[in-house]
Amino acid sequence: MIFKRLLGMLGKDLAMDLGTANTLLYTPKEGIVLNEPSVVAIDTKTGNVIAVGKEAKDFLGRTPERIRAIRPMKDGVIADFEVTKEMIAFFIKKVIRGMSLIKPRIVICVPTGITQVEKRAVIESGLQAGAREVKLIEEPMAAAIGAGLAIEEPIGNMVVDIGGGTTEVAVISLSAVAYAESVRVAGDEMNESIQRYFQDKYQLLIGENMAEKVKMRLGSAAPLDEALVGEVSGKNIVDGTPRCIEITDAQVREAIHEPVAAIVMAVKRALEKTPPELVGDIARNGLLLAGGGALLKGLDRLISQETNLSVIVDDDPLTTVVRGTGRSLAEDKRFAKVWIN
């Protein structure tokens, strides 16, 4: 026990939100120490990693043939084990500067629908990247802890965490998940819908980064009080020439209608399958919206209209999950029961 405590004092314990779009690292002492895109650029001839994170994301759609910018996470889980291991190791080394005598203990958050095989892949990646111990926590549970919800009470709390690859809908009571659903529709699906929309309607090919910029600037789930106008640039499918068109928030709303509707449907399904006592608690306490998708304009309003619930958007939805993961690490005696391995 004394040896374990000594390890904790010497080693730098880390909480990791290993997301499809972004990876965040948190230490109990310093808070968020890293927030970078989950992208790796690789030289296909040598297999060497050229860039990781922000630098690699700028390579997307801009690389010569021998360099490939890839996202090793898909739908919240590991799609490319070797590249994910390289990415985690890079981020850990970036945070733990210099020689570290003690390997860090890491808590990583994962989607609720994760399989045993996927769990093992995440744990193995963490250990091979240099961790001495890896614990897993489900994303909605981490979000609830990060937002300061009373998860230990016999009260129903509903959490909707919209990330890059998955939307996690969960009802939490007595430090356990009473109902959970992981829908593989989230921010990435919205980006792809925007790309398809401009390709089909305007014969305009746009890149992944451009689609994301359009979503962030003009995207909305419900009509806005003031109309927004912007520009989207890409390549004309017909003759390959550069083309730039003016677009409105209404067009982007039309483009992302399907993924937004799928998220709202998942929330409704969760309410249908939750016991009436817990639904009563949720009606009183409201629903917590977290993750990058919570920043989509008007989404809280749309969910509220469709469910008759008050919707609370966390103060900093992009970091809710990693803050909760970090808190479970800092207060491990209190929150040890929420770890799923």
First-to-last CA distance in the chain? 20
Question: Whole-angstrom Cα distance, residue 288 to residue 313?
Answer: 6
Half-sphere exposure of 79 toward its Cβ, with a 13 Å CA cutoff? 14
Query: What 3-state class would DSSP assign to 11?
Result: coil
Given a contact cutoff of 8 angstroms between Cβ atoms, the answer to whether 214 and 234 are in contact is no
pLDDT confidence band for 22 (50 / 70 / 90): very high
- Architecture of the 187-257 domain: Alpha-Beta Complex (3.90)
Question: Whole-angstrom Cα distance, residue 244 to residue 328?
Answer: 48
Given a contact cutoff of 8 angstroms between Cβ atoms, the answer to whether 186 and 162 are in contact is yes
Query: CA 229 → CA 48, 233, 260, 325, distances in Å?
Result: 42, 14, 21, 38
Whether pLDDT at 70 is above 70: yes
Q: Each residue of 245-277: pLDDT tens digit?
A: 999 999 999 999 999 999 999 999 999 999 999
Structure token digits, residue 233: 């640039």
Per-residue confidence (pLDDT) for residue 100, from 0 to 100: 60
Question: Whole-angstrom Cα distance, residue 288 to residue 195?
Answer: 29
Reported in sequence order, the residue ranges of the chain that DSSP labels E, i.e. its strands, are 14-18, 22-27, 31-37, 40-43, 49-52, 67-70, 73-74, 77-78, 105-110, 133-138, 157-162, 167-173, 176-183, 204-205, 229-236, 242-248, 287-290, 311-313
Average pLDDT over residues 78-99: 83
| DSSP state at residue 250 | H
Given a contact cutoff of 8 angstroms between Cβ atoms, the answer to whether 193 and 272 are in contact is no
- Architecture of the 150-185+263-317 domain: 2-Layer Sandwich (3.30)
> What does the mean pLDDT of the chain come to?
91
Structure token digits, residue 133: 């111990």
Q: Each residue of 198-219: pLDDT tens digit?
A: 999 999 999 999 999 999 999 9
Per-residue confidence (pLDDT) for residue 112, from 0 to 100: 87
Whether pLDDT at 23 is above 60: yes
DSSP 77-98: EES-HHHHHHHHHHHHHHHS-S
Average pLDDT over residues 80-105: 81
Query: CA 97 → CA 12, 100, 236, distances in Å?
Result: 11, 8, 46
Structure token digits, residue 157: 């709390």
State which of 61-70, 128-137, 209-218 shows the largest mean pLDDT: 209-218
Domain 2-37+81-141+321-338 CATH class label: alpha beta
DSSP 286-324: -EEEESGGGGSBTHHHHHHHHH---EEE-SSTTTHHHHH
Structure token digits, residue 147: 């937002």
Average pLDDT over residues 27-51: 91
Q: Which residues pair with 49 in a beta bridge?
A: 42
pTM of model > 0.85: yes
Whether pLDDT at 11 is above 80: no
Q: Each residue of 220-248: pLDDT tens digit?
A: 999 999 999 999 999 999 999 999 999 99
Given a contact cutoff of 8 angstroms between Cβ atoms, the answer to whether 153 and 109 are in contact is no
Whether pLDDT at 98 is above 60: no
Structure token digits, residue 62: 């801009």
Q: What is the location of CATH 3.90.640.10 in the chain? A: 187-257
Q: What is the location of CATH 3.30.420.40 in the chain? A: 2-37+81-141+321-338, 150-185+263-317
Q: Which residues pair with 161 in a beta bridge?
A: 168, 290
Q: Report, in angstroms and rounded to the nearest whole number, the Rg of the chain calculated over CA atoms.
A: 21
